[in-house]
Structure 1
Amino acid sequence: MKNRSFIGAIAALLLVASCGKKEEQAPAPGPMPFPVQTVAKQDATVYEEYTANLEGQQNVEIRPKVSGFIQKIYVDEGQVVRKGQLLFKLETQTLNQDAAAAKANVTAAQVEVDRLKPLVDRKIISNVQLETAKAKLAQAKASYSSVAANINYGTITSPVDGVIGSLPYKEGTLASATSEMPLTTVSDTKVMRAYFAMNEKQMINFSREFKGATLAEKIKNTPEVSLRLVDGSTYEVKGRIATVAGLANAATGTSQLRAEFKNPEAILRSGGKGTVLLPINIKDAIEVPQNAVFDMQGKQMIYVVGKDNTVKSKIVQVKTTSGLNFIIESGVEAGEVIVVEGTSKLKDGMAIVPQQVKEEAPAAAAQDTTATAEKTSTTVTKK
Structure 2
Amino acid sequence: MKNIQFSLLSLLFVFASCEKKEEKAPVVMPYKVIKVTQSNTSLLAEYPATLEGVTDIDIRAKVDGYIEKIYVQEGQEVKKGQLLFKLETQTADQEASAAKAKVTAAQVEVNRLKPLVERDIISDVQLETAKANLASAKSTYQSIVARINYATIKSPVNGIVGTLPLRLGSYVSSQTTQPLTRISDVSTIYAYFSMNEKQQLDITMHAAGKTFQEKIAKMPPVNLILSNGTEYEKKGKIETFSGQANTQTGSFNVRASFANTNKLLRSGGSGTIQIPTNLENVILIPQNATLEMQDKRIVLSVDKDNKVIAKPVTVRAVPGGHFYVVDEGLKVNDIILIEGIGIISEGTKIKPEIVENPVKINPIPYENN
TM-score class, shorter-chain normalisation, is 0.7 to 0.9
Aligned to 2:365: 381
Aligned to 1:373: none
How far apart in 2 are the matches of 1:32 and 1:267?
58
CA spacing shift, 1:136–1:291, aligned 2, 3 Å: same
Q: Does 1:51 pair with 2:48?
A: yes
Among 176, 191, 205, the residue aligned to 1:208: 205
CA spacing shift, 1:89–1:298, aligned 2, 3 Å: closer
1:278-289 paired onto structure 2 within 5 Å: 278-289=275-286
Aligned to 2:10: none
Aligned to 2:174: 177
Equivalent residue letter for 2:77: V
Q: Deviations over 1:121-169 (max 9, x none)?
A: 2223332332232222212212211110111111112222222111111
Equivalent residue letter for 1:322: V
Q: Deviations over 1:296-347 (max 9, x none)?
A: 77765433213442223445443x3324333122331222211245454445
Aligned to 2:97: 100
Aligned to 2:3: none
Equivalent residue letter for 2:274: L
Are the aligned partners of 2:301 and 2:308 in contact in 1 as well (CA < 8 Å)? Answer: yes
Q: Secondary structure at the match of 1:201?
A: helix
Q: Does 1:24 pair with 2:23?
A: no
Aligned to 2:186: 189
How far apart in 1 are the matches of 2:150 and 2:318?
57
Percent of matched pairs sharing the same residue: 46
How far apart in 2 are the matches of 1:95 and 1:33?
96
How far apart in 1 are the matches of 2:148 and 2:187?
33
Are the aligned partners of 1:363 and 1:381 in contact in 2 as well (CA < 8 Å)? Answer: no
CA spacing shift, 1:167–1:40, aligned 2, 3 Å: same
Q: Does 1:161 pair with 2:145?
A: no
How far apart in 2 are the matches of 1:363 and 1:79?
48
How far apart in 1 are the matches of 2:254 and 2:72?
34
Equivalent residue letter for 1:350: T
Aligned to 1:217: 214
Are the aligned partners of 1:362 and 1:381 in contact in 2 as well (CA < 8 Å)? Answer: no
Q: Does 1:122 pair with 2:133?
A: no
5+ residue gaps, structure 1: 1-16, 365-379
How far apart in 2 are the matches of 1:350 and 1:100?
102
Deviation at 1:188, TM superposition (A): 2.0
CA spacing shift, 1:133–1:192, aligned 2, 3 Å: same
Q: Does 1:273 pair with 2:257?
A: no
How far apart in 2 are the matches of 1:89 and 1:297?
67
Q: Secondary structure at the match of 2:324?
A: strand
5+ residue gaps, structure 2: 1-12
Query: Normalized against structure 2, the TM-score is what?
Result: 0.84
Q: Does 1:333 pair with 2:317?
A: no
Are the aligned partners of 2:203 and 2:277 in contact in 1 as well (CA < 8 Å)? Answer: no
Are the aligned partners of 2:44 and 2:276 in contact in 1 as well (CA < 8 Å)? Answer: yes
Aligned to 1:321: 317
Among 226, 232, 242, the residue aligned to 1:245: 242
Among 63, 68, 72, the residue aligned to 1:66: 63
Aligned to 1:350: 348
Q: Secondary structure at the match of 2:143?
A: helix
Q: Secondary structure at the match of 2:365?
A: strand
Stretch of structure 1 that moved more, 289-298 or 147-156: 289-298
Q: Secondary structure at the match of 2:244?
A: coil
How far apart in 2 are the matches of 1:36 and 1:128?
110
How far apart in 2 are the matches of 1:145 and 1:315?
80
CA spacing shift, 1:36–1:89, aligned 2, 3 Å: same
Deviation at 1:46, TM superposition (A): 1.0
Are the aligned partners of 2:42 and 2:318 in contact in 1 as well (CA < 8 Å)? Answer: no
Aligned to 1:13: none
How far apart in 2 are the matches of 1:62 and 1:262?
25
Equivalent residue letter for 2:189: M
Q: Secondary structure at the match of 1:194?
A: strand
Q: Does 1:86 pair with 2:66?
A: no
Q: Secondary structure at the match of 1:171?
A: coil
Are the aligned partners of 1:304 and 1:338 in contact in 2 as well (CA < 8 Å)? Answer: yes
Q: Deviations over 1:212-245 (max 9, x none)?
A: 4544322211111111112221111111112222
Are the aligned partners of 2:41 and 2:318 in contact in 1 as well (CA < 8 Å)? Answer: no
Aligned to 2:229: 232
